[in-house]
């Protein structure tokens, strides 16, 4: 079988810092039939980016354009590429040498050369130079990861991990140039929906985490993301929701936790209203009991406190997941001193030193996308009961939530930051929690 040509596209803006490494990683592919296309999106750096690109001569195809944003650069590349396949490489990321070869082989093995391919990836924190492997299959099944837009909705698709047959652009179009920071996920949603996808449980790229990324610096990111996800939710059919999450009730709940942790207020309000209207799961009580038993077994019944380590968006998402499933949290903890003190729902974020004093009877759940450094920190401090959010996701996903816990969140004109209101909500939730515990204990006896 002839090896199809793959076009590796590198859009770049002010790429003097990382561009050379990206190009080298593309040219070093073990798959021989590639072209490397570099699009300079009007870099204002006194010609530094262009100088790097031109130094490769005929090894790459180089285009320069006026600045218009990454979507315009990618669309120009799509119009110019000669390959049968499109593979995006951000100028600040790296391909492992077997990236393209592994993906073409996966297509051959699955017998569908037009299937969409995505994979695990590594995260390189440039501040501490540590690499964390993001293994999606430790959290979800392969069936879920290959289920239409499921990985898109859960924010698990790294655009640079994809291999896309050119026919998909002909089918659904190209990147929306009106979007500044969400142009990738908007296209992935259109492209993944109702399509065959292949997931490779191996990191094929290394993605840098640094302070200059657009999703961290551009003010429009949160607004764009809110609008996009509301559009996603409105577009899905009941059958699609059920195929991904079992029931629409579970779907709306899962998305409400995703939005709450990601500070997507409008998306959260919209989906939580839909969640309250959805039919409750018939197995809720049994599933809640199983989750509580699972949590106890993690410490062999010795921990009577729970702390979420990391009080960022992943920690808030986890808190809302557990809260809705009648699991109470005692503290947050975080290495970031700015987060110490009141967080939400009258739960405080304590310092790691304070947490260490409670370690003998505390289950610590590490809630961050890159937990390796935190796990090492807790291991050195001899914390006996530690688990990651990723390891807990499987049973959380299967457990139906208690609808009433978030019922108040959609009431308008209430200042939820008020300590008095938070106190009332906490008392209400605690009463419900105690009632459920009482009846659960009676059933067990």
Domain residue spans of the chain: 6-121+136-201, 284-398
Topology (CATH) of 6-121+136-201: Spore Coat Polysaccharide Biosynthesis Protein SpsA; Chain A (3.90.550)
Q: Give me the sheet containing 85-88, strands edge to edge.
A: 61-65, 34-41, 6-12, 85-88, 164-165
User: How far, in Å, are 84, 86, 94, 151, 173 from residue 167 at the CA level?
Assistant: 8, 10, 25, 21, 10
- The residue among 129, 131, 108, 101 whose CA lies nearest residue 119 is 101
Q: Between the CA of residue 238 and those of 179, 186, 241, 284, what are the distances in Å?
A: 28, 20, 5, 20
Residue carrying structure tokens 């924190």: 125
Dihedral angle of Cα 251, 150, 397, 110, to the nearest 10 degrees? 140
Of 82-86, 280-284, 358-362, least confident by mean pLDDT is 280-284
Q: Structure pTM?
A: 0.79
DSSP string for residues in 351-368:
-HHHHHTTGGGEEEEE-S
What whole-number distance in Å separates Cα of residue 392 and Cα of residue 328?
A: 15
Using alpha carbons, list the distances in angstroms from residue 374 to 114, 190, 208: 40, 37, 18
324 touches 257 (CB < 8 A): yes
What pLDDT does 404 receive? 57
The per-residue pLDDT for range 200-244, each reduced to its tens digit, is 999 999 998 856 554 444 667 888 899 999 999 999 999 999 998
What are the residues whose beta carbons fall under 8 Å from the beta carbon of 57, sequence distance 6 or more?
A: none
Q: What is the pLDDT confidence band of residue 416, given thresholds at 50, 70 and 90?
A: very low
Q: 127, exposed or middle or buried, with CB in 10 Å at 0-12, 13-18, 19+?
A: exposed
pLDDT, one tens digit per residue, over 294-304 is 999 999 999 99
Query: Could you tell me what percentage of the chain is helix, strand and coil, using 3-state DSSP and rounding each to the nearest 5?
Result: 50, 20, 35
User: Which of these CATH numbers, 3.10.129.10, 3.30.930.10, 3.40.50.720, 3.30.300.30, describes 284-398?
Assistant: 3.40.50.720
* E strands, 126-247, in order: 130-134, 164-165, 197-209
Residue 115 has pLDDT above 70, yes or no: yes
Dihedral sign of CA atoms 270, 276, 281, 286 in order: positive
User: What does the DSSP 8-state code read for residue 147?
Assistant: B
pLDDT the model gives residue 130: 80
Q: What is the 3-state secondary structure (H, E, C) of 372-436?
A: HHHHHHHHHCCCCCEEEHHHHHHHHHHCCCCHHHHHHHHCCCCCCCCHHHHHHHHHHHHHHHHHH
Fold agreement between 6-121+136-201 and 284-398? no
């Amino acid at each position: 079988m002839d090896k199809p040509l793959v076009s590796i596209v590198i859009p770049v803006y002010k790429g003097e810092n990382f561009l050379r490494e990206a190009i080298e990683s593309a040219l070093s592919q073990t798959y021989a039939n590639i072209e490397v296309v570099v699009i300079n999106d009007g870099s204002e750096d006194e010609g530094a980016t262009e100088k790097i690109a031109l130094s490769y001569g005929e090894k790459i195809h180089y285009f320069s354009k006026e600045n218009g944003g990454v979507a315009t650069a990618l669309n120009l590349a799509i119009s110019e590429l000669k390959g049968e396949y499109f593979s995006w490489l951000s100028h600040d990321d790296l391909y492992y040498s077997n990236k393209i070869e592994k993906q073409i082989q996966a297509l051959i093995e699955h017998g569908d050369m037009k299937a969409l391919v995505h994979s695990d990836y590594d995260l390189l924190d440039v501040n501490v130079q540590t690499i964390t492997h993001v293994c999606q299959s430790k959290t979800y099944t392969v069936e879920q990861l290959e289920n239409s837009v499921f990985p898109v909705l859960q924010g698990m698709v790294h655009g640079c991990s994809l291999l896309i047959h050119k026919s998909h652009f002909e089918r659904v179009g190209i990147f929306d140039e009106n979007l500044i920071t969400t142009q990738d996920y908007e296209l992935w949603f259109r492209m993944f929906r109702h399509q065959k996808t292949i997931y490779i449980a191996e990191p094929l790229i290394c993605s840098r985490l640094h302070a200059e990324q657009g999703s961290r610096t551009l003010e429009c990111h949160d607004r764009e993301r809110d609008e996009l996800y509301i559009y996603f939710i409105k577009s899905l059919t009941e059958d699609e929701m059920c195929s991904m999450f079992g029931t629409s009730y579970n779907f709306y709940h899962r998305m409400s936790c995703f939005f709450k942790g990601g500070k997507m207020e409008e998306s959260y309000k919209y989906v939580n209203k839909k969640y309250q209207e959805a039919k409750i799961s018939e197995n809720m009580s049994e599933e809640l009991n199983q989750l509580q038993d699972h949590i106890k077994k993690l410490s062999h019944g010795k921990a009577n406190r729970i702390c979420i380590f990391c009080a960022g968006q992943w920690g808030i998402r986890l808190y809302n997941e557990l809260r809705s499933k009648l699991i109470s949290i005692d503290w947050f903890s975080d290495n970031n001193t700015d987060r110490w003190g009141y967080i939400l729902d009258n739960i405080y974020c304590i310092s790691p030193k304070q947490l260490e004093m409670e370690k003998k009877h505390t289950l610590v759940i590490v809630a961050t996308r890159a937990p390796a450094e935190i796990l090492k920190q807790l291991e050195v401090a001899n914390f006996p009961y530690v688990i990651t959010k990723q390891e807990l996701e499987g049973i959380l996903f299967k457990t139906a939530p208690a609808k009433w816990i978030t019922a108040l969140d959609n009431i308008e004109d209430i200042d939820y930051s008020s300590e008095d209101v938070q106190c009332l909500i906490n008392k209400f939730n605690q009463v419900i929690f105690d009632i459920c515990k009482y009846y659960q204990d009676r059933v067990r006896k």
